[in-house]
Chains A and B, each alone.
Chain A
Amino acid sequence: MMGNFDSIVELISDCLEKIKSQADYIEVRAERSVATRIEMRNKELSDCSECNQSGWSVRVFKDDGRSFAAFDSFDDFDSKMKSAIDMARYGQQPGGKAPIVHLTAVEVFESGKAETVTLRDKVNVVQRYNEIMLFSPSIVSTQIEYRDFAKEKLFASSMGSRIKTYSDAIIAMLIPIAKHKANIERDIEIYCSDINFSGFNNLDQRVERSARLAKDLTHAKRIEPFVGDVLLDQAATGTLFHEVFGHLSEADLIIEHPLLEEKLRHGSKLGSDNLTIIDNGTIEGWAGSFRYDDEGVQAKETFLMQDGVVRGHMHSLDTAIQIREEPTGNARTTSYRFPPIVRMSNTYVDNGGNSFQEMLSDIETGVYVRGSCPARNTLGKYVLYPREVYRVERGEVKELLSGAVIYGDIFETLKNVSGVGDDLQFCNTACTKGSQLWLPVGTGGPHVLINGLQIGGYR
């Protein structure tokens, strides 16, 4: 069990003091959190529960070796620490020595307190949104998944750093499912923010719009595959560039794939002249903001691409030393259970100089894509599954289309950006990488026009 956090700091500090000479660098993360989950399917609450979690982990760098171990209890703390040091002697890090050169000891003790919102209040809001979604008999089914968490984290290193932080978030997914004859369609509305319950309590219009969209999609014309221009709204811009360039700029991926390293060298011209992409963990109020990352490095602003030219990558301490660049404060983990890996904070496309109307009127045949949406990528290729797509013809937005899929080659897409708007908006969402799910991040951008994209469909 994890008791008082202050006594844990003492326990860890004492142990680190005793054993620090046995390794080059040791860091310990301890965590305790309380979370709420509410799940509603149709009119029934299928889950409504609290979840308590606690645990700790240790990461050791010794000679050229590295280990990570996560435990559920502080019992036998000293011997667990020693076995982690013992394990480290097998790991041989490709970059050589441990990344201690980059670290300066810091002592930060933040405190925080979750808003006092009762389970009843949370359930009431979820039930209200469910009622809103069921506005029409065409909505045959609904699904709402609400999660919030408040988490205390402690980071301690053999270099003397002691960082106690507090974070919280609400992540909710609302899905209306509509049916018309044999045609079934759905929309997915995702909400993510730090715990600000009044913000979550104010989504009525968004929820209603989502339900109406699901219903409208059952009557919409199915898209026929074609190659055309795609105008993305701010949220869709955020999603696409998070997927196509954000993940590609995470240095762990670059290191694993030599071809990427070559392509993404500093100074490479990969995008069109008007394209600037930034990762910035210091913006107040964004879901991906924090003071220190999970390796104790201060968050900062990193230009990934400026005017189409590669300017930087996102790093953990490990990747920074391997590529010989400065750490960027992008080492994040969703839980003490996982070692920190390179993750985005708030990644967005910066404003350009084109107006929405100007870009729209440039389109002969294409589509207008609205809203953030699911996306997938592999090295070099991506797929976007847009929620809301309208046909555009000769500069005019026409009817809603269903079943669209946008896909292509990442590097071609970056080059084919022909317009970047002047109406930047931010959007909070959650990102998944490997087995680390639902990490709050910020995305966004202005309207962006991309030429010659492949627009596919399901049939």
Chain B
Amino acid sequence: MNEILCDIVDLAEKNRIKAEIFSNRVRSKALTFNNDKVEEINYEERTDYYIRVIKDGKIGFYSAMNFLDIESAIKKSLNSSEFGEKVRFDFPMVDEFIYPKTYDTRLMQLMDQETAKLAGICEGFVHTLRLLNRQISCNLSLEIGETVTSIANTSGFFCSYKKSGFYLASWVKGFIDDRLVQHFDLLRSRKQEDLSRFAEQIVKELYWSENLVNVKTGDYKMLFMPSVSKVLFQGFLAMVNGGAVLKQESLLENRLGEKIFDNRLSITDDCSADWLLGSIPFDDEGVKASSKPIIEEGLFNNFLYDLKTGALAGTGSTGNGKRYEGKIRIAANNLLVGEGCLTLDDLIKEIDEGILVGTGMGSLDMNGNFNIVVENGYLISGGEIAGKIDNNLQVIGNIFNAFNSIMNISKERISSGSMLLPYIGFERLSLQAN
């Protein structure tokens, strides 16, 4: 693979064009484990190549999966550059990178060992669940994989790093007082995780469904689980996207330095924490990754840029160029939301009457208004979970109002994709119930 990268750069240099080649070499093994049996084993090997060239100031692209004809790749990307936009950036040079821990050798050894070892992880997890509730059955999907990311360009950059991946999706079904209760959860990490805490949380949430209750429309104190508040943070990230600001699509245009949220809320784009999903030495354009505060005690501090938008804004890239389906997009590396000082149990105890939103289908419009159709919602009464809410619910609000009426933030933080989020309590949010 390295040879291909060098050949592309050599050929570009011979043709006196600027060029960059990005490649991802992926290897993964997955198994589905249903009702105590391995049902299917999947294995994949693939290599993706993405080329960008700059000729006469205009950018061109080409991509290929698995096989790259070097001459044709350069020709096609040059052909594309005829229509490309004028860009003001150059491909970056090598920097002094800091490499966070992203590769778990022990995990990868496991991938190459007998499939029975992977099945053993699933069996162990089910065993832990059954120690907590004997009647549990579950469908699991376990995937282990590695990605080698390499970038070379005509500015002399040639670097690569490896990431390992551990992914467990669980659909747990159990019986409480002869009533079927179900729970879906995901665990994603760069290393093999201790699954006992994950199992404990799943069973705890199953027991929250012990009673069924109904609630009425009104304003309630609300507690969002990390997977729900993720919807709000994703919407917020769309607003701090430097590209959106340049296109006047962001409500945060001209608000740098302003206090926009409660001073208990701090949000950081982090790239250096070991084992977090978004930790990297350099972004997908070869720019040194850096950690930066986006919100510091409620104060809005930074937009995120890639090479193109950073050049247009005059700030330079912030190391947030990420490839998504091959295209460079602006995204946070790890979005870390600062922790509070109370545990989840303490947060629940503080609420006399309120709602814990466990999972939901959420969306945010471009004005910061959100709508979450609740899938799993729990009534909190007298500082305790009183039961699972049976009627159809939607929570509506606006992130600026919500993040300015924070009741409390939990001490525990949970990984949700490349976000590390606490449980967040809100003083008042509107609930529509049927």
Seen from chain A, the residues whose Cβ lies within 8 Å of a Cβ on chain B are 1-2, 37, 39, 41-42, 44-55, 65-73, 83-84, 87-88, 90-94, 119-120, 123, 140-141, 177, 179, 182-186, 225, 227, 256, 258-259, 337, 339, 376, 378, 381, 383, 385, 403, 405, 407-409, 454, 456-459
Considering the chains assembled together, what is the distance between the CA atoms of A91 and B84 in angstroms? Answer: 49
Q: Mark B54-71, 1 if CB is under 8 A from A, else 0.
A: 000000111111110000
Is B371 a contact partner of A123 (Cβ separation < 8 A)?
no
B83/A123 in contact, CB under 8 A: yes
Question: Roughly how many angstroms separate A184 CA and B365 CA in the complex, as a whole number?
Answer: 8
- By beta carbon, the residue of chain B nearest A124 is B83
B373 touches A381 (CB 8 A): yes
With A48-B84, A119-B83 known, 15 other A-B pairs at CB within 8 A are A47-B327, A51-B64, A51-B65, A54-B67, A65-B38, A67-B40, A70-B43, A83-B43, A87-B41, A87-B115, A88-B41, A91-B39, A403-B369, A405-B363, A458-B369
Decide yes or no whether B266 CB sits under 8 A from chain A: no
Q: Could you write out 15 A-B pairs with CB less than 8 Å apart?
A: A42-B247, A45-B83, A45-B85, A48-B80, A50-B62, A55-B66, A91-B40, A182-B367, A184-B251, A256-B171, A337-B44, A405-B363, A405-B371, A457-B396, A458-B367
A45 to B86, CA, bound (A): 9
Q: Mark B171-208, 1 if CB is under 8 A from A, else 0.
A: 10000000010000000000000000000000000000
- Residues in B with CB closer than 8 Å to A409 are 392
Q: Pick the residue among A70, A92, A179 that contacts B46 (CB under 8 A).
A: A70
Q: List the 7 shortest-distance A-B pairs measured between CB atoms, nearest first.
A: A458-B369, A49-B61, A72-B66, A44-B85, A184-B366, A53-B65, A69-B43
> Which residue of the partner chain B has the closest CB to A178?
B366
Q: Are A186 and B366 in contact (CB under 8 A)?
A: yes
The answer to whether B392 and A90 touch across the interface, beta carbons within 8 angstroms, is no
B128 interface residue per 8 A CB criterion? no
Cβ of B361 < 8 Å from any Cβ of A? yes
In the bound complex, how far is the Cα of B39 from the Cα of A459, in angstroms?
46
Chain B residues near A378: list those with CB within 8 A. Answer: 361, 375
A252 and B326 CA atoms in complex are apart in Å by: 30
Tell me the minimal C-beta distance from B279 to chain A in angstroms: 23
Which A residues lie within 8 Å of B326 (CB)? Answer: 37, 51
Is chain A's binding surface mostly helix, strand, loop or mixed? strand
Interface residues in B, total, Cβ within 8 A: 60
Residue B397 is within 8 A (CB to CB) of chain A in the complex:
yes
Contacts of A91 in B (CB 8 A): 31, 38-41
Closest chain B CB from A18 CB (angstroms): 21
Which residue of B has the minimal Cβ distance to A374?
Answer: B363
Residues of B within 8 A of A120 (CB): 83
Interface: B35 (CB within 8 A): yes
B119 at the interface (CB under 8 A from A): yes
Residue of A at shortest CB range from B327?
Answer: A47
In the complex, A139 Cα to B382 Cα: how many Å? 50
Chain A nearest Cβ from B359, distance in angstroms = 8
In the bound complex, do residue A407 and residue B394 qualify as a contact, i.e. CB atoms below 8 Å apart? yes
Known: A42-B247, A68-B43, A256-B171. A456 touches B371 (CB 8 A): yes
Distance between B335 CB and nearest chain A CB, rounded to angstroms:
22
Complex CA distance for A355 and B219, rounded to whole angstroms: 41
Q: How far is the CA of A37 from the CA of B76 in the complex (A)?
A: 13
Across the interface, which residues of B come within 8 angstroms of A55, CB to CB? 46, 65-66
The residues of A that contact B432 with a CB separation of less than 8 Å are 225, 454, 456
Report the bound CA distance from A149 to B249 in whole Å: 31
| Nearest chain A CB to B391 CB, angstrom units | 10
Q: Is B79 an interface residue (CB 8 A)?
A: yes
A381 pairs with B392, CB closer than 8 A = yes
Instruction: Give the distance to chain B from A404, nearest Cβ to Cβ, in Å.
Output: 10
Given A182-B251, A403-B365, are A92 and B67 also a contact pair (CB < 8 Å)? Answer: no
Chain B contacts for A92, CB-based, 8 A:
37-39
Question: Closest Cβ of chain A: how far from B63's Cβ, in Å?
Answer: 4
Is A179 in contact with B373, judged by CB distance below 8 angstroms? no
- Are A184 and B41 neighbours in the complex by a CB distance under 8 Å? no
> Could you tell me the distance in whole angstroms from the C-beta of B138 to the nearest C-beta in chain A?
11
B343 at the interface (CB under 8 A from A): no
| Assembled-state Cα–Cα distance A259/B251 (Å) | 45
Q: A408 vs B46: C-alpha distance in the bound complex, in angstroms?
A: 41
Contacts of A87 in B (CB 8 A): 41, 43, 115
Taking a contact as CB atoms under 8 Å apart, the answer to whether A94 and B35 are in contact is: yes
Report whether B396 and A141 are in contact in the complex, using a CB–CB cutoff of 8 Å.
Answer: no
Which of the residues B39, B45, B83, B119 comes within 8 Å of A48, measured between beta carbons? B83
- Residue pair A51, B373 in contact (C-beta under 8 Å): no
| B243: min CB distance to chain A, Å | 8
- B405 neighbours in A (Cβ, 8 Å): none
In the assembled complex, the CB of A45 is this many whole angstroms from the nearest CB of chain B, namely 5
Whether B249 pairs with A50 at a CB distance below 8 angstroms is no
- Whether B396 pairs with A119 at a CB distance below 8 angstroms is no
Assess the A69–B83 pair: CB atoms within 8 A: no
Q: For the complex, what is the distance from the CA of A67 to the CA of B63, rounded to whole Å?
A: 29
Q: A72-B45, A457-B371, A459-B369 are in contact. Are A51 and B62 (CB under 8 A)?
A: yes
A68 & B61 in contact (Cβ 8 Å cutoff):
no
The minimal Cβ–Cβ distance linking B314 to chain A, given in whole angstroms, is 18
A376–B375 Cα distance when bound, in Å, is 12
What is the bound-complex CA distance between A79 and B38, given in angstroms?
Answer: 23
Most buried by A among B37, B42, B62, B375: B42
B361 touches A383 (CB 8 A): yes
> Contacts A45-B83, A45-B84, A184-B249; is A407 near B392 (CB within 8 Å)?
yes
Bound-complex Cα distance A370 to B392 (A): 24
Residues 131-173 (chain B) with a chain A CB within 8 angstroms: 139, 171
How far is the CB of B285 from the nearest CB of chain A, in Å? 14
In the complex, the answer to whether B43 meets A94 with C-beta atoms within 8 Å is: no
Given contacts A66-B40, A259-B180, contact A184 B80 (CB under 8 A): no
Given contacts A70-B44, A90-B41, A46 and B64 within 8 Å (CB-CB):
no
Evaluate contact between A90 and B116: CB separation under 8 angstroms: yes
- State in angstroms the CA–CA spacing of A383 and B361 once bound together: 8
Contact present for B41 and A68 (CB under 8 Å)? yes
A340 to B258, CA, bound (A): 51
The distance in angstroms between the C-alpha atoms of A179 and B250, with both chains bound, is: 11
Q: Chain B residue with minimal CB distance to A2?
A: B67
B248 within 8 Å of A (CB atoms):
yes
Give bound CA distance, A2 to B62, whole Å: 19
Q: How far is the CB of A387 from chain B (nearest CB, A)?
A: 12
Which residues of the partner chain B approach A339 to less than 8 Å between Cβ atoms?
40, 42
Give the complex CA separation of A407 and B367 in angstroms.
21
Cα(A65)–Cα(B32), bound, Å = 12
A227 and B369 contact, CB distance less than 8 A? no
B66 contacts A141, C-beta separation under 8 Å: no
Partner among B39, B67, B249 whose Cβ is within 8 Å of the Cβ of A52: B67
